Amino acid sequence: MQRIKNPTLKTIFQHRSIRKFKPKQVSRRLIDLIVQEGQRAPTACGMQTYSFVLVTDPNLRKEIFRAIGRQKCMEQAPTWIVVCADLARQLELFKMLKVKTEFGSLGKLIRSIIDATLAA
């Protein structure tokens, strides 16, 4: 690969997906920084129609595994940041402003899923 000087492009090209984790707990400060970075992701109309949920409780993790299936890489990580599509703020704002959209619920959900994906 050629040498990339642009820091943004360099970061993009160095990105890797990690599927093996150490059981070491991550500091709350680092978790907060990761969440803050996710909040700076592009979003439809600035609505941030997603929520971050930190999961460390073993019983809650078991419940999540029941819903999504067991994934070995997730078992290894001591803290999960679950990114969820969350329409609550958007729907409340639309109700308050008496806004009706042509996209309906599915269109709102799709945009929320895209926002959540970008934040993740």
pLDDT, position 104: 65
| CA–CA distances in Å: residue 70 to residues 13, 42, 66, 84 | 30, 30, 7, 18
Per-residue pLDDT of the chain (120 residues; tens, 9 = 90+): 578 889 999 988 988 887 888 888 889 999 999 999 999 998 876 778 899 999 999 999 999 999 988 888 888 888 999 999 888 877 787 788 887 766 666 777 888 888 899 999
Mind giving me the DSSP string for 46-98? G---EEEEEE--HHHHHHHHHHH---HHHHH-S-EEEEEE--HHHHHHHHHHT
Yes or no: say if 82 and 15 are a contact pair by the CB < 8 Å rule. no
DSSP code for 119: H
Give the Cβ contact number of residue 2 at 10 Å.
5
Q: Residue 95 is encoded by which pair of tokens?
A: 């109700």
- Report how far residue 107's alpha carbon sits from residue 32's, in angstroms, rounded to the nearest whole number: 30
> Is the alpha carbon torsion for 82, 29, 32, 10 positive or negative?
negative
Q: Indicate the CATH number of 18-119 among 3.40.109.10, 3.90.25.10, 3.60.15.10, 3.50.50.60.
A: 3.40.109.10
